[in-house]
Amino acid sequence: MGSVTLRRLSKIFDGGIQALHDLDLDVRDGELLVLLGPSGSGKTTILRCIAGLEEPTGGDVLIGDRVVTRDPPRARDVAMVFQTPTLYPHLSVRENIAFPLEMRGTADAQVTRRVVEAATRLGIPSVLDRMPDTLSEGERQRAALARAIVRGPQAFLFDEPLSRLDAKLRIELRAELLALHRALGATMIYVTHDQTEAMTMGGGAGQRIAVLHEGRVRQVGTPEEIYQRPADVHVARFVGTPGMNVLQGRGRGTGEEGPVIEAGSLVIPVELSTYEGELQVGIRPEFVGLCAVDKGVGNVDVLVVEPLGSETLVHLNTGGQALVARLPGFADVRVGTRVGVKVDRRRLYLFDAAGVPLA
């Protein structure tokens, strides 16, 4: 009953910007689905369409098995938590949390009880009578969360609720949100552009991540699935820190050393019998190695070196295309030098020109 289904949802804004393209998504009852996508990919738009704050241009939104596409927000029974903690500045925390109950005409006695309950669950019963502008950022977001859970809606929509908090608080609240999900067993859609957060939030048993790119859902799956078997080049590029290297190249079946892909200054031998012409080749940074000049599949220029302690990211330029290598520990690479590149041929991902994986 608490499932959320989007059917061929599309949204074109007044300026003619199409934010969503015929999007299908199925969130099961009680599931925590993480919606991951780069900035501007339409995550917020999806949530607003589900919430009823935005009217879709086409397609349908179903909550449970009821079509709610044209219903106003209050007829939908979903709660939403926004990126910026939005408390009503003129109401105390208690009144803030009570607001949704009052709007639904809940009896006073019940309101008092449920407000305290929700506040306790989020660990803020002590600030109930303070005004929002006297609260810390974390308390404020907790109060906003309490306001969302207080009326026990069918589904929760979280729009990057933690992005404004500092790192420590973020980790703390993330864990609390997971606990909340377990305790309430409600359907939740959690939006983030931070894939570390996506992996943590979506990492539980039976949880999934949906990757969004330019208004389309590219892949829905477990963290492992989307990392190991990206459904297209966009997912590959976006997932991982840093994301997968994707080079534009050409497949040639008749190189001197057998079939090869020429990409930038690299010539990578592959088992490629079926494809000739334009394609894209992807390789994760951890499978890119450096070696002496002319010893690898090609030579590249070192642009930037980022020593991070446990690993070093080396940004390379191969014939005008960017390539990142991730080396363990501190690597002895100088900026401006020319080095050779090794790749793990078994870890290559091949996509056609349109970005669809080649079998």
Partner 1 sequence: MSSRGWAAAVTVAATIAATLALAVVFAAERHYERAFAFRIAGTTAAYVAAVTPPPQPPPPPPPAPRVVRGRRRPSIRPAPPPPPPQLAPLSPAARSYDLPSLLTQARALQTLPGWSSDVEVYFGTAPLVDATAPPLSPDDLSYLAAAGLWRAGRALVPLKDRDGQEVVGAVAVRPHPMPHGPLPGGIGFAFPAAILAIGAAAATAFRERSLRPGARGGYVGAALFLALATYLDVRAAARQSTDRWLVDTRRLLQEAATRLPPPRVRVAISDLAAIVRDGEVVAGEPADSPPRRVRVDGERRAVVAVLIGSGRWVELRSVPAELEAPRWLILLLPSALLGPLAILLLRWAERTPARLRRETAIAWGFLGPAGLHLTVFTIGPALYAIYLATAANLPALARDPVTWNALRNTALYALYVPVSVALALVAALAVFRYRQHWGGRLLSTAFVLPYVASAVVIALVWQAIYRWGSFGLGRTDWLSNTGSALPALMLISVWAHMGGQMVVFLAGLQAIPPAYLDAARVDGAGAWRGFWRVTLPLLRPVTWFVVLTGVLGALQMFTLVFVLTQGGPSPSHATGVMVHRIYQTAFGQQAFALASALAVVFAVMLLILRWPQLAILRRQVRNA
Partner 2 sequence: MRKVLLGVVAVGMVAPFLYMVSVSFMGEGELLRWPPPLLPHAPTTGNYSAMVEVLPYARVLLNTAILAGCVMVGQVLTSAAAGYAFARLRFPGRDGIIAASLAILTIPAILLLVPRYLMIESLGWADTYPGLISTELVSVWGIFLMRQAFLMLPREVEDAARMDGAGEWSLFWRVALPMVRPAVTALALLAFLDQWRSFLWPLVITRSPRMAVADVALAHVHTTYAGNLPYQMAAAVLLTVPLLLICLCAQRYMLSGVRVTGASVRL
- Of residues 42 and 100, the one with the C-beta less far from ligand ATP: 42
CB of 45 to Mg ion, least distance (A): 8
Number of CB atoms found within 10 A of residue 141's CB? 26
Question: Judged by CB under 6 A, does residue 193 bind ligand ATP?
Answer: yes
Question: Judged by CB under 6 A, does residue 43 bind ligand ATP?
Answer: yes
Contact of residue 193 among ligand ATP, partner 2, partner 1, none (CB under 5-8 Å per partner type):
ligand ATP
Question: Judged by CB under 6 A, does residue 19 bind ligand ATP?
Answer: yes
Residues at the interface with partner 2 (CB under 8 A): 48, 51-53, 72-74, 78-80, 82-84, 86, 88-91, 99-100, 103-104, 144, 147, 151
- Of residues 195 and 299, the one with the C-beta less far from Mg ion: 195
Contact segment (CB under 6 A) with ligand ATP among 10-18, 117-125, 175-183, 259-267 equals 10-18
From candidates 42, 132, 259, 296, binder to ligand ATP by CB under 6 A: 42
Contact of residue 15 among partner 2, partner 1, ligand ATP, none (CB under 5-8 Å per partner type):
ligand ATP
By residue count, the chain amounts to 359
- Of residues 54 and 194, the one with the C-beta less far from partner 2: 54
CB of 305 to ligand ATP, least distance (A): 30
Locate 161 and state its tokens.
């609720």
Contact of residue 44 among Mg ion, partner 2, partner 1, none (CB under 5-8 Å per partner type):
Mg ion
Question: Judged by CB under 6 A, does residue 16 bind ligand ATP?
Answer: no
CB of 233 to ligand ATP, least distance (A): 19
298 φ/ψ sector (left φ>0, alpha ψ -120 to 50, else beta): left
Contact in structure between 241 and 227 (CB atoms under 8 Å)? no
Contact in structure between 259 and 252 (CB atoms under 8 Å)? yes
Contact segment (CB under 6 A) with ligand ATP among 13-21, 56-64, 134-142, 247-255 equals 13-21
Residues 302-321 that bind ligand ATP (CB under 6 A): none
CB of 266 to Mg ion, least distance (A): 37
- Of residues 35 and 146, the one with the C-beta less far from ligand ATP: 35
Number of residues near Mg ion (by CB under 5 A): 1
Contacts to Mg ion by CB under 5 A: 44
What residue ranges bind ligand ATP (CB under 6 A)? Answer: 13, 15, 17, 19, 37, 39-45, 193
